[in-house]
Amino acid sequence: MEYAFLVVYLAVMIVAIAGVWKTFEKAGQPGWACLVPIYQFYVMIQIAGKPTWWLILCFVPFVNFVMIFLIPIAIAEKFGKGAGFGVGLALLGFIFYPMLGFGDATYNRNA
């Protein structure tokens, strides 16, 4: 039984990583950046169109909880999605990043 859980877990993680990878590539960033922990935050901030100093805010206690929502909402808006989709990216990223990466949404640098 535990092997079945492990297989399902690995499948979900592979799909989630592939979704973030594809999202990064759609935004003109390197897909492999989703695998490097701190660099991933930096790239997400770049995709969101926010200033680089927001990276520091990701490491400030309590402020980082706010950043967990602000950055994905900004990313969703850059792809023409609403704030609700951004909250979905923050809370259920393993579902919403593949939808964003493999869907028909296009990155708008000027949004």
CA 47 from centre of chain: 9
Largest CA distance in the chain: 49
Which residues 6+ apart lie within 8 Å of 83 measured at CB?
A: 73, 76, 77
Per-residue pLDDT reduced to its tens digit, 45-99: 999 999 999 999 999 999 999 999 999 999 999 999 999 999 999 999 999 999 9
Q: What is the identity of the amino acid at 27?
A: A
Its pTM stands at 0.91
Query: Hey, where are the domains in the chain?
Result: 2-102
What share of the chain in percent tops pLDDT 70?
A: 100
